[in-house]
Every structure is written in structure tokens, then in C-alpha cells.
Structure 1
Amino acid sequence: MKIKNLALAALVALACLPNAQAQKGKTSKALKAQATPSPTDIDQKVEELLAKMTLEEKVGQMAQITLDVVGKGENRYSSIEPLQLDEAELKKALVDYKIGSVLNTANNRALTPEKWYSVISQIQEVATKDTRLGIPVIYGVDEIHGATYTAGATMFPQQIGQAASRNRELVRRGAEITAYETRASSIPWNFSPVLDLGADPRFSRQFESFGEDPYLAAELGVQMIDGYEGVRNNIGHPEHVASCMKHFLGYQVPTSGKDRTPTTISETELREYHLPSFKAAIDAGAHTIMINSGIINGVPVHSNHDILTKLLKEELGFKGLVVTDWGDIEYLHTRDRVASTHKEAIMMAVNAGVDMSMIPYQYEPFCNGLVELVKEGKVKEERINDAVRRILRVKYALNLFERPTTNPKDYPLFGSKAFEQAAYQMAAESITLLKNEKNVLPLAKSAKVLVTGPNANSMRTLNGAWTYSWQGEKVEEFTGKYNTILEALQQELGKKNVTYVPGVSYKADGKYYEEVAENIDQAVAAAKGVDAIILCLGENTSTETPGNLSDLYLSDLQTELAQKLAATGKPVILVLNEGRPRVISRIEPEVQAVVQAYQPGNFGGDALADVLSGDVNPSGKLPYNYPRYPNALVPYIHKPAAEQGKVAGVYNYEADYSPQYEFGHGLSYTTFTYSNLELSKPQLLANEQLTVSVTVKNTGSREGKETVQLFTSDLYASGITPDVRRLRRFEKIALKPGESKTLTFTLTPDDLAYIDRNGKKTIEAGEFEVRIGDQAQKFTLVGHTF
């Protein structure tokens, strides 16, 4: 499964991409016939259909149920195996209650493309043939790093790893492949990308984000949407899907660090840090959006009219479909207690701006309750009409009325070598070298190594959650042909040179995961006969509430294993395979190299082995601050006062701003030098652009890739303390030994704006600094504040 020639892999994968085919005019006649109708045609069809609909039919369109509800089984929460649809339950939901959407897989298990096609065809047959108006169902699934609920699909690194790659082209390519393979599963709607600001390392879903920088998230989010929907958002094309931005807004920064718990976010912070990625995605044409399950400033977002209607629909002009997260309308009553009854919760959410309710099991109370609310005058029918318009527009744009299903036989590239090569390349470029004392890496091909740790021989931990199942616990059932880290190293270095002792293993315990010691002393003994120790640590897979934790330190058993191995005196190469940065400060000084692999997918083992052996020169950059201590979780975007060591009279340097590794950090096996940072002018007027150029040279002995990152600092601002620095531009380049390249970036005054205390964007005259690498230059923005 290994791929040695990345350049060839890139060319092959690009040539085989579905979007590349379409753009070159090579699309088949059958696919050409599926062009997206024009917006005018769609609007006309929507209004004609809406005029024919009863109130009950409209409300049904606003309801979304999970697949198990219509599967044969003892109840609505699970289905028999193999999955079979219950015709009576299906007709009750779709015919009697007019349900307009289905989501998820059944029994928390991936299905083959053929099974998906069979199941969804049955659903669409009932929806289009047995109902009065024949409105097709829109089917949605979380395909967040590949077609994650489809057996045999191509799995990419989780979003956090994709952010580390800093490679826009690879992110778009992965989304194109995911869209292709999702449509091969007859699914047209993907609940992705995650555009939340992943600024809290305690949070159980940080790995699903692009990290803690708004600009990085916006740039890569747009690439992912372009990949899913096509650059023209022609989602009716049978190789594209409707994307779903999530989770609007401010989801990943709860005060407790735990999923779906309350937070306090000022208007300034909400707009300055959390809004930009969503605004960019809306401007890019994303068709749907999912809402934050949490509570901001005491108000559940699902009942927040200011956020869902005034901000999202009116100010940002979002014309698409707004869907809840899992069961969140009911939670307004049962959990958040802002509604005294479930019916009142429905009223609050729909009036706030929700268009579709992800119910997911008990749909009758929603449908019956919303009909009653309209008849009672508590929800206006025009609000219902607005919601249904948005839903029908997406269904027409997807061409579901013309082609409600897509057949896997029409997708010959599904799971192809070209797609696998693209996944490998993304994994290879995501891996981030954080430490490399005395150039202990790369390893010699003849090196004898001990491979140990709970993540060394696990496909599950390489992939993470949302892989073949919700928590990723079923990964091993589907991944027999891929290589774990151990297996990849055995191929790379030879089995005779690789000794394996687990040392520590994960033990499943219901929803939660425990660790057990497994021959730690044997691992220590085995270290005596090797040249280096490859210690694979991190965490088991989890997401959402099951992934909540109370201690960000690496576990006690893993720490013990690391300390005992370090005491042998053999070089220790710490490989981190984790969904969030578990604190390693108790062991980091004792290891010679640290490699962050994140959750790199099915080809992560191969990519990591190639990095460790030197076949691949690492080029990843951290998408977050890696914290040194659990009580020092300061993100890279912070105020000067967070750097206490620089404040006069403060001498507690232990408590200073000092992450283990900072945002943007990432080493290479070569060296790069920066020089000749130049600005086009020393002063910038309000209507002018600033051109910034810098020269980067590869001063080492091997070819490498470098991400050139441009930061700005507002040296003084009035009213709001400026951030120490902000990422404004980045570009990834490849340089041969001795080669140099001059890059040019363009900044505008808008790039220097900030959100003031009134929630308004402000561009303020004053002095600024541009920094790229170790180069810095100052300039002045002149004129008035505006």
C-alpha cells in the first residue's frame, strides 16, 4: 500500500479527479444531463410546488429522522442485521407524516455502496411514488474525512491534520473525492465541513476542526466546500454533494471544555474569531448549515433569533437550509429548560430560524406539535413557507426530483488507487515534526527499532471517530488491507529489524476507554537490543460527550512507559497519534524526537513510516498551540497581557505564556532561511493595497516543502487591546537544495481591521508590523478611523 513517488501520485490522482474531468469537458453524456437547474427555474418550481402543499406536508418537509426508525427491529433505536427496511414504518413516516429527510446509518455501522443504493432506493420509491406530491427525501450523513460511513471508501486525515498540511489543493482534492464516493453511496448531502474555531485543546471534537486560527479555517473551509459542491456550486452534478457548514456559532469553546455545555462569548469575540470562517463559506455558496448545540451567554443557540435569523439569514444573507444538530429542539425542554414543554421548544426553535429538525427518533411530537402551533397562531405559516422554500431549493438544486438516487456502478473510481494516493499524500504532508535533537531522524534503513505504545498497532487510532462508526470502535472490521504504524515500519525497515511490545493497551469499557499495562518491563528489556525506540502514544478514539475528559495530561500508564524507556538511554522517538494535544511536558525533555501524526487515516501508518525513514521530508505545521501544562491553555491568538514575563515587575516565569510548541511550528529534514522582507510602501492609505515580498531559500541538503506564513501585529489600538499577532496569508512551496523563491503577498486595510466594542468592524490608523519567519518590517496605516 505504500507510495514512494509523491510527484507521480499527485499527477495520477489529479488526472483522475471527477472535478478535473468535468472542467476539461470529459464528462459523460449521462453526467452532462444532470446539470443543476438555474436559480430562476428552481425558484419557480419551488413556488409552484409550495402552492400545492398542505400544512401537514410542509411540516413533514421540516422533519428529519434517523435510519433506524424505519429499519426492522424491536424498536426505533436499533435494527436487525443485516439491515432491512420496515415497510409499514417507512410508509408511516413518509406517507402519513410526510417526512422529508433521513440521516445517518443503521446500527452505527458502515454500509457498502450497493447496500446504500438499495436502502435509499427503497426510501425514495416510497417518497416519490406513494405520496401525494412525490417529493423526494434528502439523505444526509457525516462524511467528515472521506465517505466515513461507506465500506471501502477512501479515508483522509481528520480535518486537524488537513489543516497541518497547509495545502489548499490537497484539501480541495480530498473533498472532491469524498463527494464522489458519497454520491457513489447514493447520498447527496454531507454534514461537513466543520468551521468551528478549535481553540480549546480540552474539547472532544478539536480534531474535527481546522484548528485555532480564523483565517486558516476560512481558507481551508472554502477549499472543502469547492471540493464538495464544485467551484460553481453545481450540486446537481452527480459527483457533487450539498455541503453543510457546522456548527453555527461558537461551538468548540465551552467554558468547561466539555461538549454541549455553556459558554460566554462577547459580541466582539464572536465576530472577530468565530464568524469569519462561516462568512467565507456562505460567500462561497455553501447550501446548508448546522447549528451549535450549546448555550452562549445563557441562551441556547437553537432558540436564539439574534444568531439564527438576524445574523445568519439577514445580515449574512444566507439563503440556504438551516438544520439542527441531533435532538436539539427537544433539548430546549429536557436539558436547557428554556421551554416548559416540548411543544414550546418547537415554537421557540422554528421562530428563531430553524428550518429542519434532526429529531431523530420520536418524530410525531414535532410534526403534530408544529401543525398545532401554526393553527394556534404561535408560528406563522409564512415562517413555515420560508423554511420549506429553503429545503425544496436544495432538493431541486441536487436534482433529486429528476434523479433521487445515484447508482454505484456509475462510479468506477470508487476506492481506486488514484484516490488512495491522494489520501496518502495528504497524510504525508500533515505529519508534523516538532522536535529532532541531534538529527536523530530520519532513521537509517538498517536501524533496529523497538515499536511500542498503545497506538502502535491500531488502525482505529490512526483514523479516529466518525470512521465506519460514530466513535470509531468498528474500524478494525473494515481495515484489514491497510497498515498500522507497526506494520508499515516492518515493511519499511524489515521485520527482522523491528521488535514490538505493546507496553500499554486500550481496553474497551462500554462507552468509555481504559488502559491496561501490557508487559512494560518486557518493553524496557527489549530496548537494550535496538538502536532507537519508536514510542506511539496518544489517546483512543472518541468524539462528542464520550470524549469529554478531566485531565489533559497524557495518561499515567503511558507516562510511566515513556519514563522507563527514556531511562534506558536509547533514543526515544515519540509519535503522537491523538485527536487533541495531550500534555507531554512530563516526558518531553527526556525524548529526542517528537512527531505529531494527528489522526491521519488509513494511509497514516505508511506515511509515518516514510517520514521516520526519510523517504518523505516532513512539512506539516501545527494548527494550534500545543500546551505545556493543563492550566496554561493560552491560544496563539492572545493579548499582550497573557505574556506575563514581559510585564514589568512580574517574575513568575513558570506561569508565563510558554506553549510546548507554538502555532505554525514544524521542522524539516532540511533548513530554510528567510531574507529580503520588503514592503511596497511605508505608509498605506485606506483605499490602497500593501505588497509584501520575501525570499525563501533551501539552505539544506535535500528537497523540502515549507509553508511561508505572514503574520501582522497591530501595535496599538484604541478601546480594544490588539492581539499579539494574527495570521493573514500563507503559501506552501517546494524547494530543491540551494533553490530560492521570492513570494509576494497583498494586504488591504480590511485585513488590518478589528471588531470594536459595539460589534462593528473598525479599521484604525496607526502603526503595524509584518512578520514572516525571522523577518519583520513596520508600516503605518494613515488617515482616519473608519
Structure 2
Amino acid sequence: MLRKSLLPLLALALPAFAYEPITLPVIPSDPAIEKKVSETLSRMTLDEKIGQMTQIQLDILGENGPDGFRLVQAKLDTIFGVYKVGSILNAPYSYCLDAEAWNVVIPQIQEASMKYMGIPCIYGLDQNHGTTYTNGGTLFPQNLNVAASFNAEIARRAAEITAYETRASDCPWTFSPTLDLARDPRWPRFWENYGEDPLVNALMGAAAVRGFQGDDPNHIDGNHIAVSVKHFMGYGVPFSGKDRTPAHISPSDLREKHFAPYLEAIKNGALTVMVNSSSINGTPVHADWTLLTKWLKNDLQWDGLIVTDWADINNLYTREKVARDKKDAIRIAINAGIDMAMEPYKVDYCTILRELVEEGSVSMERIDDAAARALRLKYRLGLFDHPNTTLKEHPDHASKKFRKEALESAVETMV
């Protein structure tokens, strides 16, 4: 393990980090990809566009059989044939599959998606400290320990190995790294990020993004995966100390400290962002146009995708009480800038969003923008040309070499 400690670099890094001018757009677009996105979008129906904005949990596509989880063809036909869903996530019934099993499940999903739409599905897993959702995958120290090493190379290499092994399981997307500033020890997810400091989070997060995605976010190869940096933002400082509860943050702290790690991750190519489940200063982040659309999309000219956290659009009416019902919640969230809803168990979202478009409550411009962002992500991952990556193509999966690196990382991060 390379011992390139951040400690002697902090004084040098801080001025560049704090004052380096931002070059816009933060991720330069590829004209060839943009042409493909435009052509694909022009052929799509409204239902297909809304489907690209929908993500559901794997459970509803299958059942537990005598040999474990298996997909059910009738359910595949409904989800992809009728509702045109564009993304699936998570492990079945909260247990991990072997890489061999993932190599059966995800290709079947891709086959159904390509059959009904000619558009690949994008599968996502929470690979937060190694290949956590594949049995036998290589595990690394939690991010808080990685931060304690002040060695960004550990963050980069852990992400790189995790990406390789995740592709061995035929999954191209992870909901990681976590870049919340952890500043209250009561918060139960303290271990998941890189600590309380915005600079350390920014440098570690940028290294992790490079490790997961490689150095060219427009052309991610079969050994790398797209990231979703989370939870944008202020999630790690809840006033009560409890998870998914409101935060009170001064405007200057929000902009200069909590935003900083996400900005650095996006400058280093982060293609997607997951949103804070709760509220900041009384406004649910899933309903906050300023944070989602102005700060991320408009100010940075960022063309990536914003995905909700688990069922969080529903929380706008069940918990936050800023919406009358689910329909009103969907209207608020999509107009605020949400591109993909992690629903995760119901497809009525698709029907309701169509009604909102037909009524004029959500514009076609907003639908086209969100669907284009999902398509752009899939083109950048090469999924249209190669919907699947296999265990055979990744012979180092769960290798002794990777485990040795994980052990060295654990030793270096002990505090």
C-alpha cells in the first residue's frame, strides 16, 4: 500500500481546494454521446421516458424458490413491458448473492429491458466499503477509518477494486461514496463517511470517485462503475442526532463546508448524486429547487442524474407534510430537480407522473431533461453496446491479491 499521507499536503491542498476557479461545465460533454441521447429520446414515448425516471427494488421482480431467489417472467413482462422501468436496485430480500448468481439475475433483467424498449436497465448496489452485496467479495475498512489514515490512495484503490468486483457481478452503478460531514457522534451512520472535515471529505471523495469511475466519466470501461455521491447534503448533522431527521445549518456553513465535498466529487467526474432524506432549515431537500437545480445543475452546468433515497418522495406527504398526497409529492420533487425516483416497491409512480404531465403540472421539458440524464448515464457506461459484464471477464474477483490489499488497508487505518 502506498503511504502518501495527506497530512503534509493539507496546507498545500487547502488554497487550491478553496480558491481554484471552476471550469464549466464541470464534466465536458461528448458530442457523439449527446447525439445518441437526442436520437434515442426522440423515438421514445412518454411512458418510456417516465420509465427511465423510475427505480424499483429487485424483490418485486421475483420470488424465493427452493434454490434461492429467482425472477418470474410475468413480473418482468409487467415491469419492463407495461411500465418501461429503467432501473433496478438492491439485493433480494436483503441477502447477498454470489457473483455467479448475479450473472444469472442481471442478464435476465437486461434481456427483458432490451426486448421491450431497446434501452438497457441500469442496476445499482450500495457497495459502501468494498463489494458488500456479493458473497465473498473483498471488504475494505469503513470510510471513517480510511479518513483516519489521511491516505487518499487507500480510498482510490478500495473504490477501484470494488468497481472491478461489482462489474464481475454485472452491476454498473453504486450508491457511494458517502460525503456527509459527520459532526455529531449521536448520528448512527458516522462510520459511513470520511469524518467531520470538508477538506478531508473532499480529497478522499474525489479519490474514491476516480477509483470507481476511472479518469474519463464520458467513457467508463468494463472494469469501472458509475458513482452516486450521497447524501446531498447536510444529512450528517441532524439536530436530534437521529438518522433521517431535520438539520439546521447556517447558509455559510451549508455553502462553504457541506457543499464542498460534493463539489469536488462532481469536478472529478461524479455522474450521479443521491439526495438527503430529510430537511435543511425547514425545507425537505427532495423539494428544494435551489439546492437540486440551481446549485447542482444550473450553476455547475452539470449534466448528471439526481436520484432519490429510499421512498423519499413519499416522505414529502407521509412525514414532511409539505404535500397533500403522493401525486402532489411527485409534482414537487420532479419540479425541484429529481430525475429518478427510488420508489421502490410500487409502480403507481409511473401512472401518477403521466397524469401530472397530461394536466400540465409537470412540463415535457422537465421529463425530457430527466430522461436524457438517465440515457446519458447509460451511454457513458457503454450499456447500449455491452449491457452485461461477466465474472469470466473479471478473473481477479475476490482474489488473494485483493484480500492482501484490503488487509494492508485495515492495518494502516487502525487508530
Give the structure-2-normalised TM-score. 0.92
Aligned to 2:403: 420
Q: Give the match's secondary structure for 1:120.
A: helix
Q: 2:109 aligns with which of 123, 141, 161?
A: 123
Q: Give the match's secondary structure for 2:68.
A: coil
Q: State how 1:159-558 maps to structure 2 within 5 Å.
A: 159-233=143-217, 235-364=219-348, 366-432=349-415
Paired AA for residue 317 in structure 2: H
Q: Which runs of 4+ in 1 moved over 6 A?
A: none
Name the CA distance, whole Å, in 1 between partners of 2:35 and 2:47. 22
> Contact conserved, 2:217 with 2:380, CA < 8 A, in 1?
no
> Contact conserved, 2:30 with 2:218, CA < 8 A, in 1?
no
Name the CA distance, whole Å, in 1 between partners of 2:404 and 2:148. 18
Q: Give the match's secondary structure for 1:83.
A: strand
Structure with the larger strand share: 1
Name the CA distance, whole Å, in 2 between partners of 1:314 and 1:169. 32
Per-residue deviation at 1:243? 0.8
Q: State how 1:549-628 maps to structure 2 within 5 Å.
A: none
Extract unaligned runs of 5+ from structure 1: 1-5, 11-37, 74-78, 433-786
Name the CA distance, whole Å, in 1 between partners of 2:406 and 2:72. 37
Name the CA distance, whole Å, in 2 between partners of 1:255 and 1:189. 31
- Is residue 66 of structure 1 aligned with residue 57 of structure 2? yes
Name the CA distance, whole Å, in 1 between partners of 2:322 and 2:342. 19
> Contact conserved, 1:157 with 1:426, CA < 8 A, in 2?
yes
Per-residue deviation at 1:170? 1.8
Q: Give the match's secondary structure for 1:233.
A: coil
Aligned length: 391
Give the structure-1-normalised TM-score. 0.49
Describe the superposition over 1:86-142 as per-residue Cα deviations: whole angstroms up to 9, x where unpaired: 11111101110000000000011111111001000100111112x1x3111000000
RMSD over aligned Cα, in angstroms? 1.5
Per-residue deviation at 1:318? 2.1
> Contact conserved, 2:214 with 2:220, CA < 8 A, in 1?
no
> Contact conserved, 1:197 with 1:211, CA < 8 A, in 2?
yes
> Contact conserved, 1:235 with 1:241, CA < 8 A, in 2?
no
> Contact conserved, 1:235 with 1:242, CA < 8 A, in 2?
no
Q: State how 1:633-652 maps to structure 2 within 5 Å.
A: none
Paired AA for residue 402 in structure 2: F
Q: Give the match's secondary structure for 2:273.
A: strand
Q: Give the match's secondary structure for 1:408.
A: coil
Aligned to 1:106: 92
Describe the superposition over 1:404-440 as per-residue Cα deviations: whole angstroms up to 9, x where unpaired: 11110111111111111110111011101xxxxxxxx
Name the CA distance, whole Å, in 1 between partners of 2:136 and 2:51. 34
Describe the superposition over 1:540-567 as per-residue Cα deviations: whole angstroms up to 9, x where unpaired: xxxxxxxxxxxxxxxxxxxxxxxxxxxx
Change over 3 Å in CA distance of 1:415–1:348 after alignment to 2:
same
Name the CA distance, whole Å, in 2 between partners of 1:252 and 1:126. 39
Describe the superposition over 1:413-470 as per-residue Cα deviations: whole angstroms up to 9, x where unpaired: 11111111110111011101xxxxxxxxxxxxxxxxxxxxxxxxxxxxxxxxxxxxxx
Paired AA for residue 240 in structure 1: H
Name the CA distance, whole Å, in 2 between partners of 1:321 and 1:378. 21
Change over 3 Å in CA distance of 1:362–1:152 after alignment to 2:
same
Extract unaligned runs of 5+ from structure 2: 4-28
Rg (Cα) greater in structure: 1
Name the CA distance, whole Å, in 2 between partners of 1:252 and 1:294. 10
Per-residue deviation at 1:319? 1.3
Describe the superposition over 1:633-684 as per-residue Cα deviations: whole angstroms up to 9, x where unpaired: xxxxxxxxxxxxxxxxxxxxxxxxxxxxxxxxxxxxxxxxxxxxxxxxxxxx
> Contact conserved, 1:150 with 1:185, CA < 8 A, in 2?
yes
Describe the superposition over 1:611-653 as per-residue Cα deviations: whole angstroms up to 9, x where unpaired: xxxxxxxxxxxxxxxxxxxxxxxxxxxxxxxxxxxxxxxxxxx
Aligned to 2:137: 153
Per-residue deviation at 1:235? 4.8
Describe the superposition over 1:129-185 as per-residue Cα deviations: whole angstroms up to 9, x where unpaired: 2x1x31110000000111100011100001001101111112111111000000000
Calculate percent identity across the aligned residue pairs: 49
Per-residue deviation at 1:232? 2.4
Per-residue deviation at 1:80? 7.2
Q: State how 1:763-778 maps to structure 2 within 5 Å.
A: none
> Contact conserved, 1:72 with 1:84, CA < 8 A, in 2?
yes
Describe the superposition over 1:4-42 as per-residue Cα deviations: whole angstroms up to 9, x where unpaired: xx78xx9xxxxxxxxxxxxxxxxxxxxxxxxxxx81111
Q: Which structure has more RCO (C-alpha within 8 Å, separation ≥ 6)?
A: 2
Describe the superposition over 1:561-595 as per-residue Cα deviations: whole angstroms up to 9, x where unpaired: xxxxxxxxxxxxxxxxxxxxxxxxxxxxxxxxxxx
Structure with the larger helix share: 2
Q: 1:53 aligns with which of 26, 41, 44?
A: 44
Change over 3 Å in CA distance of 1:294–1:81 after alignment to 2:
farther
Describe the superposition over 1:163-212 as per-residue Cα deviations: whole angstroms up to 9, x where unpaired: 01111112111111000000000000011000111111110111001000
- Is residue 40 of structure 1 aligned with residue 23 of structure 2? no
Aligned to 1:693: none
Change over 3 Å in CA distance of 1:166–1:80 after alignment to 2:
farther
